[in-house]
Each structure stands twice: as C-alpha cells, then as structure tokens.
C-alpha cells in the first residue's frame, strides 16, 4: 500500500490558517504541527501498513496525516464541525483511506465500525479521555477487538495508568490497565510542542492486551475499584461495605479490612473479584 498521498498537501499549519481555524478550549483542543513528532507517534503501534486505526478527536488532522502516511486505513470521530473540511481534504489526498464520523466518541462503537482487528491511536480530549479509556479496558470479551491502545494524556494521568501499588499515583486506572494488559509510557511530549501550549506536560501510554486471569468478572472488578478508591483514605471495610459479601471476602483471602485501597495490589483486587463471583 502506498505510504504517500495521491497529491501533495501543504503543511498543516498553513492549512489551519487558510481555514481560519483555532483550537477550541471548550473541546480541550491543542494542535500538534510537528510532522516528525507526529510520525514518531504514529510509529508507536508498530507497522500500520494496511491496518485499521480508530482515532478520536482528530481536529485538523495532524496525527491523522501521520497515520495515513504510515499506510493505515483511519476511522476518525470528530465532533467539531469546523474541522470536517480539513479532514475531507485528507480523504481525497490519501485515496479514500479516511472515514470521518461527525459525532461524540462516547456514543460510537469502534468494534462495529472497524469490522475486524484494529488499533486505537488518539490525542484524547481531556474532558472525555478517562471515560473513553476505561470503556476500552472493560469489555467482557477478551482479548478485545483492538490490538493496541496508543493514547496521549496529561502526564499526570499517564503516570496514574502505569503506577505501581503503594504510590500516590496508584488507583483505579492502574488496576483497570494492568490486570489483563501491559501498560507503559512510550513517550513524553513537552507542552511547547502544542499550539496553544497547555499548562501541563503530556505523555503517550501504550497498552497491549495480555492474558486474562480466569474466573473474574470485569464489571465486578470495575465496581470494586470504583468503590475502593472512591474514598481512598477510608479503610476497605468502610469503602466496600455497600458491596454484599466484600468485607467477608477480604478476610477470606487474607486481606486486612483495615487496609486502604492504595495498599492492595492488582493481584489482590483480582483475587477479591474472583471470590465474590463464586
């Protein structure tokens, strides 16, 4: 498959200027114009030549261009109608390999759209990033249809995703990301790379599906961690008391119910969910 566009494109910065487009603070937009950086991000999932990629919030299409240059077929969901003309130009330039859906990513089913295995690559809007991320981690079917997640977050959120037990950053996101998948920070992106520059640094997390422990209900594990970390300074016997049998199950597997959620390792949360399912 060709890795070059059917016709040349002007630099993205020029295209954005020609369309009179500016980043929307309400939509959490910050544009990336550095093509070398964008190509490095598009390379993180591995070889995308002929692969399908699902992208959320492409904006004017900087990362989209890089994914298309890498040979991918891209399905992009964009709610900002101002960006649609720029994305339409990309579809023409790359031989129709870009499908753009105008709408809210929270209402879209990427499994149905992709029609087969796919990768998710996105500079996630801050206002929906965590909600989308947890949704992608919670399917009952595992391994999931997605083959990898390559997602840009605020660095603080990225560190929470890869955090080990006992650290201040460790919490629900870490457990959901680590109990049946491998998560690592693949790249850090300085705030100066964006237009306009955000107030915080960013980082890209890469997640690959791993082996799923047997006998665990993902929805139950999600509920346990939601309760456990909802009031993280409380003892487990308080934070989990609304879940029938949870406190008794803690004692049955040797977890002191006076411990707090951030001291409980991923394997222990998994063991708790497994026992409660029985």
**Are 63 and 83 contacting, i.e. CB atoms less than 8 angstroms apart?**
no
| Per-residue pLDDT tens over the stretch 196-207 | 888 899 999 999
Mean pLDDT, residues 233-248 taken together:
96
The tens digit of pLDDT for each residue in 242-275 reads 999 999 999 999 999 999 999 999 999 999 999 9
CA distance 195 to 177: 30
Paired with 202 in beta bridges are 154, 189
Q: How confident is the model at residue 3 (pLDDT cuts 50, 70, 90)?
A: low
2 pLDDT exceeds 60?
no
Q: What is the pLDDT of residues 37-65, one digit of tens each?
A: 999 999 999 999 999 999 999 999 999 99
Taking the C-alpha atoms of residue 22 and residue 16, their distance in angstroms, rounded to an integer, is 8
pLDDT of residue 156: 95
Residue of 104, 7, 19 lying closest to 60 (CA atoms) = 19
Q: What per-residue confidence (pLDDT) applies to 5?
A: 57
Say whether pTM exceeds 0.75: yes
**Dist CA 91 CA 89 (whole Å):** 5
Q: With 80 as the cut, is the pLDDT of residue 1 above it?
A: no
Q: In the prediction, which pLDDT does 29 show?
A: 73
* Contact present, 129 and 157 (Cβ < 8 Å): yes
Instruction: Please give the Cα distance from 275 to 278 (Å, whole number).
Output: 5
User: pLDDT > 90: what percent of the chain?
Assistant: 81
Average pLDDT over residues 141-149: 97
Task: Kindly report the three-state secondary structure assignment for every residue of the chain.
Answer: CCCCCCCCCCCHHHHHHHCCCCCCCCCCCCEECCHHHHHHHHHCCCCCCCCEEEEECCCCCHHHHHHHHCCCEEEEEECCHHHHHHHHHHHHHCCCCEEEEECCHHHCCHHHHHCCCEEEEEECCCCCHHHHHHHHHCCCCCCCCEEEEEEEEEHHHHHHHHCCCCCCCCCHHHHHHHCCEEEEEEEEECHHHEECCCCCCEEEEEEEECCCCCCCCHHHHHHHHHHHHHCCCCEHHHHCCCCCCHHHHHHHCCCCCCCEHHHCCHHHHHHHHHHHHC
How far is it, in rounded angstroms, from Cα 55 to Cα 101?
10
How many other CB atoms sit within 10 Å of the CB of residue 255? 19
Does pLDDT of 127 surpass 80?
no
8/6 Cα distance (integer angstroms): 7
What are the tens digits of pLDDT across the range 146-178? 999 999 999 999 999 999 999 999 999 999 999
Winning range, highest mean pLDDT, from 3-7, 20-24, 220-224? 220-224
């Amino acid at each position: 498959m060709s890795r070059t566009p059917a016709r040349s494109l002007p630099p993205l910065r020029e295209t954005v200027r020609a369309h009179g487009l500016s980043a929307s603070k309400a939509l959490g937009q910050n544009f990336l114009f550095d093509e070398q950086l964008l190509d490095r991000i598009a390379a993180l999932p591995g070889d995308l030549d002929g692969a399908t990629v699902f992208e959320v919030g492409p904006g004017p299409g900087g990362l989209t261009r890089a994914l298309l240059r890498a040979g991918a077929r891209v399905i992009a969901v964009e709610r900002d109608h101002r960006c649609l003309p720029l994305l339409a130009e990309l579809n023409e330039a790359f031989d129709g390999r870009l499908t753009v859906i105008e709408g809210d990513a929270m209402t879209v089913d990427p499994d149905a759209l992709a029609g087969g295995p796919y990768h998710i690559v996105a500079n996630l809007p801050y206002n929906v990033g965590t909600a989308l991320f947890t949704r992608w981690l919670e399917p009952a079917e595992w391994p999931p249809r997605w083959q990898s997640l390559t997602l840009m977050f605020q660095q603080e959120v990225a560190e929470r995703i890869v955090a080990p037990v006992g650290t201040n950053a460790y919490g629900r996101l870490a457990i959901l990301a680590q109990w049946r998948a491998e998560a690592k920070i693949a790249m850090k992106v300085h705030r100066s790379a964006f237009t306009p520059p955000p107030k915080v640094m960013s980082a890209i997390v890469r997640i690959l599906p791993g082996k799923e422990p047997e006998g665990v209900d993902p929805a139950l594990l999600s509920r346990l961690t939601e309760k456990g970390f909802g009031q993280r300074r409380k003892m487990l016997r308080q934070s989990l008391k609304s879940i029938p049998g949870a406190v008794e199950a803690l004692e049955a597997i040797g977890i002191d119910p006076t411990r707090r959620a951030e001291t409980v390792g991923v394997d222990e949360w998994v063991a708790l969910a497994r026992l409660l399912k029985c």
